Amino acid sequence: MSLNVDLSGEAALITGASSGLGAHFARLLADRGAKVALAARRLDRLTALAGEIAGLGGRALPIECDVTEPASVEAAVAAAETELGPITILINNSGVAIAKKIFDTTEEDWDQVLDTNLKGAWLMAREVAKHLAALGRPGAIVNIASIVGLRSMKQLATYAASKAGLVHLTHVMARPTSTANFSPAPLARRSPSASPPDGSASPPTWTARSCSSPPMPGATSAAR
């Protein structure tokens, strides 16, 4: 995936940045000039990625964060803004999937997936949106959803429920009465193991609709 836009002066926070799509998005945004806050639970991997980005001339801040805990989310956003300035781009990428038949799925399985994929994205989006609104700054929130949130797939009931909820949460966030001066965007991929989609960016607005756009200030929505 390429991103043909200059993000110099922007600060981005990427959750689930210790591996996979999160690390990919962090490298991509840093390559286009953004300062990146790398949030996840595995601090050792974040530190290694931050060193890699710094070695290429970028600026990255590793932050240990559990997106299911409100205090951890608040602390992560505060730490990122203290070091990098106001967060204008949020990539809500943290996610887990548990593949089981519906009658084998436990309450613990349900809570783990929904808390990470849906509650965690809501907590982080709410915190960043509050900060942007207080500053009167424009920004972009990209929620990493899934095609499984739009179509059923066997043995992924918890994952599908979480991603369907995330897609609709994003659309509600994008309504004029819900937010102001932000661009919530659900970015979806084909399955939990698929690679990131290709696409092009849109100009800054606070709207959400389904498309295949990479994260940037004002990006509109897409699917995983």
Supply the residues annotated as catalytic: 159
Locate 13 and state its tokens. Answer: 């926070």
Is the dihedral angle over the CA atoms 174, 91, 192, 101 positive or is it negative? Answer: negative
CB 37 within 8 A of CB 26: no
Could you count the other beta carbons within 10 Å of the beta carbon of residue 37?
30
CB 141 within 8 A of CB 128: yes
Q: Report d(CA 160, CA 142) in Å as an integer.
A: 18
For residue 187, give Cα distances in angstroms to 68, 69, 133, 222: 20, 23, 23, 4
Which residue from 77, 14, 65 is spatially nearest to 41, judged by alpha carbons? 65
Long-range Cβ pairs for the range 109-114 (8 Å, 24+): 109/158, 110/158, 113/158, 113/159, 113/161, 113/162, 114/158, 114/161, 114/162, 114/165
Three-state DSSP at 2 gives: coil
